[in-house]
Chain A
Amino acid sequence: MAVRVLTSTYVDKRSHHYHPTPSLSGAKHNTTVSQARPYPHGDGSGSMAIDRQHHHHEKKTPSWQFHVDAAKQTMTRINNKIQELDAIQRKHLLPRFGGEREIADEERSIQRLSLDISDLFRECHKHITNINSSINVDTKMEPSSHKIVKKNAAADLAIQLQEMSIMYRKQQTKYVNAIQQKSSSSYKAKIIPSSLPPSSSSSPSVSLSSKASTTTPAAKSAFVDLDSIDETSPTNTSSLRQQQLFQTAQIYSKEIDRRDQDIQLIATSINDLAVLFNDLALLTHEQGAMLDVIEDNIEKTDQHTSKALDELREADHEQKKMCIIQ
C-alpha cells in the first residue's frame, strides 16, 4: 500500500517556526520556548507552566501500568516454560528401555515445570485482578476514560491469559492421553495390569490444572515394570515364581503409593473448585446487593411519580377554581 511520509517536512516547518536550532532535550527546550513566546495559559508564569507540562510528559507510568507490564512479562515467562515442558514431555513419550534414573529425572522436571507454570498463571491472574480493583477504588477522582482504559487493558490481558491456559490444558490432555495409550497398548490379558488402567485414566480427568502430568509417570513406570514381568514369566522355576510374587507385591505397594498421590491430587483440585465457587458466590452476592438498591430506587421513583400525579391533579383543580372565581 502507498503511503506518504510527511514527518521530515513537518519537523522542518516546526523547527523553523519555533527556533532556528532544533533542540532535542527536554530541559533546553523549556528555556528556548519560554523565551521565544510567552505561554498563553491562565495559571502561573510562562516558563513555569511549560515546565509543568513537560514534567507531566516525563511522568509516564502510573501504578496500574506496572501491573500491566508485570502481567505481560509473566505471560512471556509462562510461554517459555510451556515450551520447555512440551519438549521434555515429547522426549518422555519416546519409547525407552531401561535408564530408570533418567526417566525419574525427567518426571521430576516435568512435575517441577508444571508446578511453576501453575504458579505463574496464578501470579498473572493476581496482576490482572489488581488492575481491575484499581478501577473501583477511586470513582470520584478518576475520569471515566481512565476507567475505560484500565478496563480494556484488563480485558485484553484476561483474554490472552485465558487463551494461553486453554492451549496449555489441551496440550496436557493430549500428553496424558498419549501416555495412557502407550501404557494400555502394552497390557495383555493379565490380572495385574487390568487394575492399573483405571487409576491412570481417572486421575487425569480430575485434574483441572497442570498437575495431570504427575500421574503419568505412574503409568509409564508401570509399563516398564510389566515388561520385566513379561520377560521372566516363561521360565517357570519355583525361585523365579517366588521372585515374581515378590515383584508383584512390590508393584502393588508402588501402586498403592501412586493411588495415594492421585487421591491427594483430587483433594487439591476439589479445593481449587471450592475456591472458584466461593468467588462466584461472592460476585453473585455483590450483584444481588446492587440489584436490591436498584429495586429500592425504582420503588421510590414509582411512589414519587404517583405523588407527583396527585399534586398535579390538585394543582389543576385549584387552577380551575381560580378561573371560575375570576
Chain B
Amino acid sequence: MNVIVAVQDYINRMVGTVPGIKVLIMDNETAGMISMVFPQSAILQKEVFLFEKIDQKRESMNHLKAIVFLRPTPENIAHLVAELRQPKYGEYHLFFSNTLKNILLDELAQADEHEVVKEVQEFFADYYAVNTDLASLNLDEAMTLSSPSWHASQERMLEGLSSVLLSLKKRPFVRYSRQSEATHRIAQELGRRFSQENDVFDFRKPDSPPLLLLMDRRDDPVTPLLHQWTYQAMVHELLGIRNNRVDMSKVPGIRDELKTTIMAPDSDQFYKESMYKNFGDLGAAIKDLVDEFQSKSKSNQNIQSIDDMKQFVENYPEFRKMSGNVSKHVAVMSELSRLVDRYRLLEVSELQQELACNHDHNLAFKNLEQLMIRRDIDFRDKLRLVLLYAIRYEDAGRVPEAQDMLRRCDDANPDKIALVPAILEYAGRAVRTGDLLGNKTILSIARSTVKRGLTGVTNIYTQHKPLLHEVLQDLARNRLKDQVYPFLIGQPVKDRPQDVIVFFIGGATYEEALTVSEFNLANPGMRVVLAGTTIHNSETFLQELLQLKQKSALR
C-alpha cells in the first residue's frame, strides 16, 4: 500500500506503452500530481520530450504523439474538444484521472473528426502523493458542512477519495465519526459510489477486508496548532511545503538556485532517512552529511596522475548531485535554526506541549500569563497558546480573561482574536467525537495520569500524540468502539483489519503522518495510509477557520 508507487505505476503505463516521441499534455492539477512522483529526467527517458498544458497556446507538431492526462472537468473537455477539431499532433491517447461522464465522452467523440484519438482510459491517479503513506487533495475550504463551498468540495473529496481507493485496489468497509455530520455524509455518498461504479470497484475479496476510517479535523484541533520538531513537519510548519516545494525566497542571504527547493522523499535519500528525525538528531545527521561531503571534495582536490583524473571525471556527476543536496539541507536547516531562535520557539513549544498533554489548570494559567506579557514572542504564537488553553480548559471559565490578555498585546489583531470563540464553536467538547483530552470518562483520566506517571517523558517537545495515535492503537487491538466510530453498513466485521486508510476531512497534518509511519513500523501486520483534504500547518488551519467564521454563520 504505497501511494507514490501507485501513481508512478499509472504514469509508467501511460508513457511506457506508446512507442515513439511523445508530448505530455496536462492541466494545472495533474501537472502537480505528476511532478511529485516523477522527476523530469525519468519521464525524458520514456521518450517524452515535451511537456505542455492543455490551456496554453501550442504549436502544431504532427510527428509527435500526444499523451493527454487531465482531470475530467468540463473546462478541460472544452479545451480538448476545440483541439480535436484542429489536431496539433499525430495521435492522441487520452487518460482521465477520474470517472468521465457519459455526456462528456459523447462530446469528445463528436469532436473527433479526424479520428486522431487512439484510446481513452480512466487512470485513477487523482491525488497528490506526498509520502509513501500520505496523500493529499490540496483542497482548501473543506472544513465542515457549513463551509460555504462545501458542495463543490464534496464532489472533489469523493472523487479524490475514490481514486485513492481504486489506485490501491481497495473496496473497504467504511467507518465514520459519530458526531460529525460531514463524515457521515461522505460515508453515505461513498457507499452510493461503490455501487454505481461497481465495475471498477470489483476486486478480489481479501481474507481480512480493508477499512476506510473517516475522521473530522474538529475531533483533534490541537495537533495542527502545535509546533513540530521533526524534519518534514518542522519545515512545513515554519516554511511551508506545497507539492513537495519549499519557498525559500524570503530567507535572507539565500542563493538563487535554492529559492524554491524540492523536498521529496522519493528522489532524496538523505531526506527519506531523516524526514522523521527530531531536530537534535537531525543536526547530527546533517553534520555527518557535511563531513562526508568534505572528505569527498578533499579527495577530489588531490589529483596527481591521469588515473586520478579519470576517477574524478567518472565520479563528478554524483559529486555534483551530492553537493547540491548538501547545500540544500544546510540552507534549510540554518533557516529553521534562525527561526527557532528568533521566535523563541523552544519556550513557546514547551508551554504548548504542557497545555496539550497535561491537565493542571492553575499552573497552566500562570505560565500562560507569564508568556503573554513578554514582548519577544510573536502575536501569532500567543494566539495559538490561548487557543490551546481554550480547548483544554473551556469549562474552567477563564477563557474571556485569556482573550483580554491577547487584546492587551502590542501587535494584537482583533480579527484573529475572534478565533478563540470560533474554535470552540468549531471543535469544542460538545461537537467532538472521541476523547481528545482523555477526560471524558473517569477511566480514561485515570489511565492517562497513570501512563504519564509511569513512563515519564523522553522529550518534552515531542511528547504530544495526536488523537489518531489512540485510534490506531485501538484498531490494532480491534477495540475501536462502534458507538464512537460506527460502521456505515451495520456491523459486518469482527476481525482486525489489515489495510487501513484514514481520511481526514478538514485536513491532516505531518505529525499525524509521523504517527502513521511509526505505527506501520511497529505493527508489520497492518498497513495504514493517511489521506486528507489538505495538509495543514498552524497558519493554514487558522486561516481556514477564519474564513469559515467570516463567510458563514456559525451557530
**A contact residues vs B (CB 8 Å cutoff):** 1-7, 9-10, 13-14, 16-18, 29, 33, 37, 39, 41, 50, 53-54, 56-57, 59-62, 65, 68, 143, 145-146, 148-150, 152-153, 155-156, 159-160, 166, 169-170, 173, 205-206, 208
Q: Does more than half of chain B's interface fall in helix, strand or loop, or is it mixed?
A: mixed
Let me know if A7 and B167 touch, CB within 8 A: no
- Distance in angstroms between the alpha carbons of A213 and B304 in the assembled complex: 23
Which of B114, B199, B314 gathers the greatest number of chain A CB atoms within 10 Å? Answer: B114
Question: What are the residues of chain A within 8 A of B167 when measuring CB–CB?
Answer: 1-2
Given known contacts A2-B203, A153-B47, what 16 new A-B pairs fall within 8 Å (CB)?
A3-B121, A3-B200, A4-B121, A4-B122, A4-B199, A6-B121, A9-B120, A10-B117, A13-B105, A13-B106, A33-B114, A62-B63, A149-B21, A149-B61, A149-B64, A160-B45
Let me know if A13 and B109 touch, CB within 8 A: yes
- Distance in angstroms between the alpha carbons of A206 and B308 in the assembled complex: 10
Known: A9-B105, A206-B306. A145 touches B61 (CB 8 A): yes
Let me know if B108 and A10 touch, CB within 8 A: yes
- B interface size (C-beta, 8 A): 55
- Distance in angstroms between the alpha carbons of A75 and B299 in the assembled complex: 33
**B contact residues vs A (CB 8 Å cutoff):** 6, 9-10, 13, 21, 23, 41, 44-45, 47, 49-50, 52, 58-59, 61-64, 86-87, 90, 99-100, 105-106, 108-110, 112-124, 166-169, 199-201, 203, 305-307, 310, 314
Closest 10 CB pairs of A and B: A13-B109, A152-B49, A143-B59, A205-B307, A4-B122, A14-B109, A2-B166, A6-B120, A7-B119, A10-B120
- Distance in angstroms between the alpha carbons of A6 and B121 in the assembled complex: 5
- Distance in angstroms between the alpha carbons of A262 and B320 in the assembled complex: 34
Let me know if A59 and B62 touch, CB within 8 A: yes
Q: Taking CB as reference atom, which chain B residue is nearest A148?
A: B50
Known: A60-B63, A149-B50. A14 touches B112 (CB 8 A): yes
Give me 23 A-to-B residue pairs in the complex whose CB atoms sit less than 8 angstroms apart, sorted by A's number. Answer: A1-B124, A1-B167, A1-B169, A3-B121, A3-B123, A3-B124, A3-B200, A4-B99, A6-B105, A10-B109, A14-B109, A14-B112, A16-B109, A41-B86, A56-B62, A57-B62, A145-B50, A145-B52, A150-B49, A153-B49, A169-B314, A173-B310, A205-B310
Let me know if A10 and B105 touch, CB within 8 A: yes
- Distance in angstroms between the alpha carbons of A197 and B555 in the assembled complex: 91
Let me know if B305 and A205 touch, CB within 8 A: yes
- Distance in angstroms between the alpha carbons of A166 and B314 in the assembled complex: 7
- Distance in angstroms between the alpha carbons of A164 and B106 in the assembled complex: 48
Let me know if A65 and B63 touch, CB within 8 A: yes
Let me know if B59 and A208 touch, CB within 8 A: no
Distance (whole angstroms) from the CB of B394 to the closest CB of chain A: 45
Question: What are the residues of chain A within 8 A of B45 when measuring CB–CB?
Answer: 156, 160
- Distance in angstroms between the alpha carbons of A156 and B44 in the assembled complex: 6
Q: Residue B90 contacts which of A4, A14, A37, A60 (CB distance < 8 angstroms)?
A: A60
Let me know if B44 and A60 touch, CB within 8 A: no
Question: What are the residues of chain B within 8 A of A206 when measuring CB–CB?
Answer: 306
Question: What are the residues of chain B within 8 A of A50 when measuring CB–CB?
Answer: 114
Let me know if B306 and A149 touch, CB within 8 A: no
Let me know if B21 and A17 touch, CB within 8 A: no
Q: Taking CB as reference atom, which chain B residue is nearest A150?
A: B49
Let me know if B121 and A149 touch, CB within 8 A: no
Q: Residue A33 contacts which of B100, B113, B199 (CB distance < 8 angstroms)?
A: B113
Let me know if B63 and A152 touch, CB within 8 A: no
Let me know if B49 and A4 touch, CB within 8 A: no
Question: What are the residues of chain B within 8 A of A148 when measuring CB–CB?
Answer: 49-50
Q: Taking CB as reference atom, which chain B residue is nearest A162?
A: B317
Let me know if A1 and B21 touch, CB within 8 A: no
Known: A7-B119, A152-B44, A205-B310. A61 touches B63 (CB 8 A): yes
Question: What are the residues of chain B within 8 A of A14 when measuring CB–CB?
Answer: 109-110, 112, 115, 117
Question: What are the residues of chain B within 8 A of A160 when measuring CB–CB?
Answer: 45
Q: Taking CB as reference atom, which chain A residue is nearest B169?
A: A2
Known: A4-B200, A152-B49, A156-B45. A53 touches B114 (CB 8 A): yes
- Distance in angstroms between the alpha carbons of A213 and B44 in the assembled complex: 34
